[in-house]
């Protein structure tokens, strides 16, 4: 009797073991076909977050539509310490966020929703790619350099496709954005022929980190000093910081994020660097001013590890002492670390896990039926 039960139990286990791989396989091949587009769109959505397309191309909430000298202290604090909270998330990607560049005037971001007349609805894929890589608009004019096309030039073809696929899914929002500045002049560069552009995202850790930091997340736009005359980045001070940013907060300087031991982040642990990405906090617990940490909060654990790997091991250490900031009281905020550490978004294994669970459930069901069947003659006896 007992032996019989053990025997049928063993048969069930064997059955389960034989069935499991084939069932997960069936699930996975089906899932792969139907979710190939979804995966591309999801990748595109992820990129538009960490590349800050979302942050730059989303307008402020209505209450911010007054001259900045009329903003309340709370509004100023939001802009300085967690600017994404000032954005109107009901009008994502509708454009019109102003960028006050001081003597450079005010530049306004474009509507990149799928609206036919005022967004990208009537643009071809090639036209969107040209805007991203070489900074030309559909009408052939040159985009303002605040749009980081110089970084996106080296974006992998796969990622360009993912971003375009995602932008196409955005609901159309009608919002006509007028340029408030003269389009740039000078020869527009040519796009390299397809085969000469990077096809897919690098896999080796330091290379992946370099790609994320420089091509996707544009850290250098603030952290690499520029030549005061030509505004070109100073290449031998890559990510070595030092530019002053003045405003209602006082004055802060972009940090030296090269691995220099005393003037950079060479002594920081990976967890301390992670705290900057996840909660915008310095080693002393002060919330960073102007550092757009909210744009990077959703970075995946792998991408974050690779970025840190590049910052610590793939980058030349530059000796560049950064002046101490002078920050108004309103902008001195202490943060409990790690406030948002739990937001780590791991790689998505859902289809595999769901497939596994479904297969196990089916096997258990079949196994149960078999057990019952085998038990019947036994009890009948
Ligand atoms: C730092 C802010 C910033 C970031 C980050 C940014 N953009 Fe832009 N983008 C702008 C501004 C400002 C303009 C308008 C420039 C102009 O009109 O000269 C613009 C223009 C564009 C245009 C041209 C639209 C038109 O009507 O001419 C496209 C397309 C675009 N951005 C897509 C993107 C995508 C996709 C991303 C992310 C991969 C992105 N942008 C990231 C600020 C930004
Ligand atoms: C819009 C400009 C801007 C961008 C883009 C930007 N940063 Fe920053 N970052 C700053 C400023 C300004 C500070 C210093 C703020 C302060 O002292 O309050 C800072 C501070 C930091 C610090 C703290 C270092 C220290 O010594 O305290 C780290 C680390 C850092 N940034 C890393 C990055 C990385 C990595 C990226 C890209 C993923 C990035 N930043 C993108 C402006 C920026």
Query: For the segment 94-123, what is each residue's pLDDT rounded down to a tens digit?
Result: 999 999 888 888 999 999 999 999 999 999
Instruction: Give the closest ligand to the alpha carbon of residue 291.
Output: 2
pLDDT band at 69 (very low <50, low <70, confident <90, very high): confident
Radius of gyration of the chain (CA): 26
DSSP β-bridge partners for residue 162: none
Q: Are residues 120 and 160 in the same domain?
A: yes
Q: Are residues 244 and 338 in the same domain?
A: yes
Can you give the pLDDT at residue 368? 39
Indicate the number of domains in the chain.
3
Is residue 21 domain-resident?
Answer: yes
State which residues form the domain around 30. 1-47+364-381
The closest-lying atom of ligand 2 relative to the alpha carbon of residue 245 is 12
Q: Are residues 58 and 191 in the same domain?
A: yes
Is residue 82 domain-resident?
Answer: yes
**Mean pLDDT confidence for 152-176:** 97
Residues with CB under 6 A from ligand 1: 48, 51-53, 56-57, 107, 109-110, 112, 120, 128, 131-132, 137, 143-144, 146-148, 163, 179
Q: Are residues 208 and 196 in the same domain?
A: no
* pLDDT > 80? residue 366: no
Q: Are residues 250 and 336 in the same domain?
A: yes
Can you give the pLDDT at residue 192? 76
Q: Are residues 125 and 247 in the same domain?
A: no
Is residue 358 domain-resident?
Answer: no
Pocket test for ligand 1, best of 84, 143, 164 (most atoms within 8 A of CB): 143
Can you give the pLDDT at residue 349? 37
For residue 220, the CA-to-ligand 2 centroid distance in Å is: 9
Tell me whether strands 250-253 and 326-327 are parallel, antiparallel or unpaired. Answer: antiparallel
pLDDT band at 8 (very low <50, low <70, confident <90, very high): low
**Mean pLDDT confidence for 261-274:** 96
Helix orientation angle between 157-168 and 125-134, rounded to the nearest 10 degrees? 120
Query: Among 200, 234, 252, where does a domain finish?
Result: 200
**DSSP per residue over 74-121, as a string?**
HHHHHHHH-GGGGB-GGGTT----EEE-GGG-EEE----SS-TTTSST
Query: Among 135, 169, 200, where does a domain finish?
Result: 200
Is residue 280 domain-resident?
Answer: yes
Nearest to 277 by CA among 252, 304, 259, 255: 304
Q: Are residues 263 and 373 in the same domain?
A: no
Q: Are residues 117 and 56 in the same domain?
A: yes
CA dihedral 236, 239, 244, 248 (to 10 degrees): 170
Say if residue 109 is preceded by a cis peptide, omega within 30 of 0. Answer: no
Q: Are residues 267 and 314 in the same domain?
A: yes
Measure CA 215 to chain center.
11
For residue 104, the CA-to-ligand 2 centroid distance in Å is: 22
For residue 285, the CA-to-ligand 1 centroid distance in Å is: 33
Q: What's the rounded Cα separation, in Å, for the pair 198 and 279?
A: 32
Measure CA 158 to chain center.
15
* pLDDT > 50? residue 357: no
- Helix (H) or strand (E) holding 183, with range, is none
| Listed range (282-286, 307-311, 368-372) with the worst mean pLDDT | 368-372
* pLDDT > 50? residue 51: yes
| Listed range (91-105, 232-246, 285-299, 330-344) with the worst mean pLDDT | 330-344
pLDDT band at 32 (very low <50, low <70, confident <90, very high): low
User: Whole-angstrom distance between the N-terminal and C-terminal Cα of the chain?
Assistant: 11
Tell me whether strands 106-108 and 98-100 are parallel, antiparallel or unpaired. Answer: antiparallel
Q: Are residues 83 and 150 in the same domain?
A: yes
Is residue 232 domain-resident?
Answer: yes
Q: Whose CA is nearest to atom 10 of ligand 1?
A: 147
Q: Are residues 239 and 307 in the same domain?
A: yes
Instruction: Give the closest ligand to the alpha carbon of residue 45.
Output: 1
CA dihedral 311, 309, 162, 28 (to 10 degrees): -170
Residues with CB under 6 A from ligand 2: 213, 217-219, 221-223, 245, 252, 254-255, 257, 265, 273, 276, 282, 288-292, 296, 325
**Mean pLDDT confidence for 216-221:** 98
Q: Are residues 95 and 139 in the same domain?
A: yes
DSSP β-bridge partners for residue 87: 60
Judge contact between 337 and 291, C-beta under 8 A.
no
Query: Among 200, 230, 248, where does a domain finish?
Result: 200
Can you give the pLDDT at residue 29? 53
What pLDDT, in 10s, does the model give residues 169-198? 999 999 999 998 887 766 777 777 777 889
Can you give the pLDDT at residue 337? 63
| Listed range (155-164, 192-201, 339-348) with the worst mean pLDDT | 339-348
**pTM for the structure as a whole:** 0.83
For residue 295, the CA-to-ligand 2 centroid distance in Å is: 12
Is residue 329 domain-resident?
Answer: yes
Is residue 125 domain-resident?
Answer: yes
Is residue 37 domain-resident?
Answer: yes
For residue 81, the CA-to-ligand 1 centroid distance in Å is: 23
Q: How many beta carbons lie within 10 A of that of residue 99, not counting itself?
A: 14
DSSP β-bridge partners for residue 107: 99
């Amino acid at each position: 009797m007992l032996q019989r039960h053990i025997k049928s139990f063993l048969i069930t286990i064997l059955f389960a073991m034989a069935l499991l791989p084939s069932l997960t396989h069936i699930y996975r091949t089906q899932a792969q076909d139907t979710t190939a587009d979804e995966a591309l769109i999801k990748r595109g959505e992820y990129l538009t977050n960490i590349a800050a397309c979302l942050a730059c191309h989303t307008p402020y909430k209505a209450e911010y539509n007054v001259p900045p000298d009329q903003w309340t202290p709370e509004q100023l604090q939001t802009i300085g310490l967690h600017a994404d909270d000032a954005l109107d998330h009901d009008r994502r990607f509708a454009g019109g966020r102003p960028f006050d560049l001081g003597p450079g005037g005010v530049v306004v971001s474009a509507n990149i929703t799928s609206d036919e007349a005022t967004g990208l609805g009537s643009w071809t894929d090639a036209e969107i790619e040209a805007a991203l890589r070489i900074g030309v608009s559909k009408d052939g004019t040159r985009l303002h350099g605040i749009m980081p096309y110089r970084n996106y030039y080296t974006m992998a073809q796969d990622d360009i496709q993912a971003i375009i696929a995602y932008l196409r899914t955005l609901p159309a929002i009608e919002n006509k954005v007028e340029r408030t500045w003269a389009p740039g002049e000078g020869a527009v560069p040519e796009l390299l022929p397809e085969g000469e552009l990077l096809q897919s995202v690098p896999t080796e850790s330091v290379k992946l980190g370099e790609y994320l930091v420089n091509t996707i997340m544009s850290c250098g736009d603030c952290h690499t000093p520029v030549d005061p005359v030509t505004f070109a980045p100073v290449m031998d001070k890559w990510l070595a910081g030092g530019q002053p940013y003045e405003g209602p907060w006082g004055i802060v300087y972009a940090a030296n994020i090269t691995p220099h031991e005393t003037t950079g982040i060479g002594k920081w642990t990976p967890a301390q660097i992670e705290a900057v990405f996840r909660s915008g906090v310095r080693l002393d617990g002060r919330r960073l001013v102007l550092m757009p940490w909210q744009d990077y909060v959703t970075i995946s654990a792998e991408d974050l590890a690779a970025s840190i790997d590049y910052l610590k091991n793939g980058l030349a250490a530059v000796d560049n002492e950064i002046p101490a900031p002078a920050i108004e009281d309103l902008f001195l905020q202490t943060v409990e670390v790690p406030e948002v550490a739990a937001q780590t978004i791991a790689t998505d294994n859902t289809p595999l896990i769901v497939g596994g669970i479904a297969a196990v459930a089916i096997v258990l069901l079949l196994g149960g039926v078999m057990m019952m069947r085998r038990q019947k003659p036994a009890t009948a006896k």
